[in-house]
Amino acid sequence: MTQDIAYWREQVFARITEERLTELVLELCNIPSPYGYEKEAGQYVYDWMKREGFAPRKVGLTEERFNVIGTLRGAGHGRNLLFSSHLDTAGPSGSPHDTWLYRDLDARFWHQTWLEDGVFYGQSVENDKGPMACFLLAAQAIKEAGAPLLGDVILTACPGEMGQEPVDEFVGLPYVSKETGAEYMMVHGGIMADYGIAAEGTDFGVSWVEAGKAFFKMTVLGSGVYTPVITHTAEMSRHVNPIVKAAALIERLNDWAIAYERQYTRTYPGGTVIPKVQIGAIKGGHPHFIIGGADSCSLYLDCRLLPGMKPAEVAAQLRRVIRESGVEAELELFLFRQGYEAGTEEVAPFVDAVRASHQAVFEQELELSAPVFSSMWRDHSVFNEYGVPSITYGPPRRTPSLDDLMACARAYAAIALEVCMQEAHES
């Protein structure tokens, strides 16, 4: 049997059809899977893999939130390639807290995926079940074509990628992320991959570096005072009400965030990281009892980090901001996740394979992705943490067209052939 990759690309591409892709995308992406509630979508992927002969397994911390791992087996003496996308999506989940986040709880974008005039719409197809459908279809086509793979193609679907983290009263398994998702999978899933792809939207650019993140809780202290007896001050930092004090601190934090971003922007071989900061939540007082003010008001900060950066470095800067603001406040770190970059030498053969595959599909050079895609969190950071040289690569992040997802499925198939038809050379 021929080992000519160009021949097998042609055979495989012929089996990736618009009809099959559209059906899979619309079925998978129209299964609701807001973070914490990934079970139904995970079961669909499990059943699909079982039906297609990929011998899937469920590997999870609980029965409600599990990773799905399937394998297209090779001959056993080639390179193994890991594909991964996440099951969880953003958007309203039916929680009473949904109104804290979203203006329109019933917006179609959050709840449905649809194809209109050749373009897919909906949060689920964008992030991240559209790319997942692409690599599933790619693996199906490779299997049907009978390509003589030497290594395995490992297909995975993970919960808990979107960034929810336990804090304060929001605790328990629904709020756990990587520890039930990619992290759990790498520890307990028996993953033996030579390379990995976080299959997510990158506008068909590539990156193999990712920012880390530190979440801080900043609690502004004051005193709850009955409205008829409160005394206002013109200087907000000296106000008795901690919510008013927080306004003074927020202004300082905004100035610091702009400077932080400029100070820490770095360009690596695998992409540019622009670490940004955002005040993602604020909590103080009770909406149903506002006559007495509050003794404290908390700000919750998402601070992105350079690979290898320690959160203590950021904490020191935040304490200085607090001091300079004149506001009495306490600082607490409640989440730290390290960002990683794949080793340049280790990832280079894989990037070459992705480059060759990209060229075969698009007839143009592969480029590094925009900095936004290397400045967020994606699960290839976990794979790189565990020594699997990994990248992120995929279709347009926003409103991918059917043509985009067809090209993505072909690109994923070409990458799998390029990697898994190679002999593994022992080091």
How far is 261 from 225, CA to CA, in rounded Å? 38
Look at the block and give the residue holding tokens 């979440």: 215
The CA-atom distances, in angstroms, between 315 and each of 73, 131, 212, 251, 308 are 47, 37, 15, 18, 15
Q: Report whether 389 contacts 196 (CB < 8 A).
A: yes
Q: Which residues of 270-307 are buried (b: 16+ CB within 10 A; e: fewer)?
A: bbbbbbbbebebebbbeeeeeeebbbbbbbbbbbbbbb
First to last CA, the chain: 28
Name the 3-class secondary structure at 176: coil
Catalytic residue among 52, 88, 126, 341: 88
Catalytic residue among 38, 52, 128, 161: 161
Q: Report whether 419 contacts 151 (CB < 8 A).
A: yes
For the question of residue 203 being annotated catalytic, the response is: no
Q: Report whether 122 contacts 78 (CB < 8 A).
A: no
Residue 116 has a CB neighbour count (10 Å cut-off) of: 8
Q: Please report, as a single letter, which amino acid is at residue 57.
A: R
How far is 293 from 227, CA to CA, in rounded Å? 7
Q: Report whether 410 contacts 13 (CB < 8 A).
A: yes
For the question of residue 328 being annotated catalytic, the response is: no
**What would the two tokens of residue 127 be?**
């992030």
Distance of CA 119 to the CA centre of its chain: 23
How far is 16 from 138, CA to CA, in rounded Å? 7
How far is 393 from 353, CA to CA, in rounded Å? 13
**Which pairing describes strands 81-86 and 66-72: parallel, antiparallel, or unpaired?**
unpaired
Q: Report whether 67 contacts 158 (CB < 8 A).
A: yes
How far is 322 from 280, CA to CA, in rounded Å? 18
- Residues carrying an active site annotation: 88, 161
